Amino acid sequence: MTCIYSLDQIKAVVRDLPLTSIISEGFTAYSKGDVIVPPVGELHFDNPPGDTHIKYGYIKNHETYVIKIASGFYNNPEIGLPSSTGMMLVFYQKTGMLKAILLDEGYLTDIRTAVAGSISAACLTGRPVKGIGIIGTGTQARFQLKYLSAVTSCRKVYTWGRTQENMALYKADMERLGFEIIPQQTPAEVAAHASLIVTTTPSDRPLLHAADIKPGTCIVAMGSDTETKQELDVDILAKADVVVADAISQCRVRGEISKALARGIITETDIIELGDLLANPAKVKVKDADICVADLTGVAVQDIQIATAVCNALSSKIKEEA
């Protein structure tokens, strides 16, 4: 029988899951070649602006496969709606029968994306973080900062958003969680103060430029998940000492890396995949003055891992309560 789980049920079990290890194991399996992930399916909308992604795949010899539908409509907050929504469908791998529908409304996508950001930051920031920079003020800007708290003790955060109103709301929300939020007038001002920067916007033009980036800066870029979005000028990747992709095959056609590859600024030999780095940390020795960039376009294995873990946790909880 197919189980249907609500957002409240999903939230009740997510907080107890070891998400860092769950998502890390997925990246490692992906880079080892143990995961089947077809190209992303997507729809783009202009009026109002938005996009819908369909990501799907399976880990070889596992119980399930997962299809995830996630949408982002960026004007929704203006009419009182969240900017993101979606669901995840969990199927039995051996029969194709539907095991569960996770009506997560995009929540699991937000969580797995934030966890990937914290994993990347942990890999690339061996030195103390002197200031965190957050570009953007939306849902992902909140989740990214929340999950970074497990990676660094730094609580001084420099932020930039499109409007003063958005920055004021972000400041109020995150200061309740114990962060010191210092709004800036431009992304360049954020970069002037922060040694760990996370970009979280749907921008289609660069917000940060090579001249903005100081030695010793780590950038986690996760907003550019389509062919048209771009938050970093390609010269930043040319300047970087370490470039990490969540999935090289995916970053050939989307994200920050795709623009740099197309321009001949970098080659694939300059890139290390996140799963390879997690499996072999000695492959990259980050020095204090190194500039590091992690390009996170969102890989289906993240959805497979978190959906399967949530589904199993919910099944166990129901059995315990029966």
| Structural domains for the chain | 3-108+301-321 (3.30.1780.10), 110-298 (3.40.50.720)
State whether the Cα torsion 125-179-224-256 is positive or negative.
negative
Residue 322 has pLDDT above 90, yes or no: no
Q: What is the pLDDT of residue 196?
A: 98
Closest Cα partner for 62 from 31, 104, 29? 29
For residue 318, pLDDT beyond 90: no
Q: Environment class of residue 33 by beta-carbon count within 10 Å: exposed (0-12), middle (13-18) or buried (19+)?
A: exposed
**Do residues 96 and 2 touch, judged by C-beta distance below 8 A?**
no
pLDDT of the residue at 229: 94
Residue 1 above 90 pLDDT?
Answer: no
Rounded Cα gap, residues 209 and 213, in angstroms? 7
Run of H or E including 84 = strand 84-92
pLDDT tens for residues 159-218?
999 999 999 999 999 999 999 999 999 999 999 999 999 999 999 999 999 999 999 999
- The pLDDT score that the predictor gives to residue 161 is 96
The pTM assigned to this predicted structure is: 0.94
Q: How far apart are the C-alpha atoms of 202 and 222, rounded to whole Å? A: 9
pLDDT in tens, 287-304: 999 999 999 999 999 999
Are 222 and 116 in contact by the 8 Å Cβ rule? The answer is yes
| pLDDT level of residue 83 (50, 70, 90 thresholds) | confident
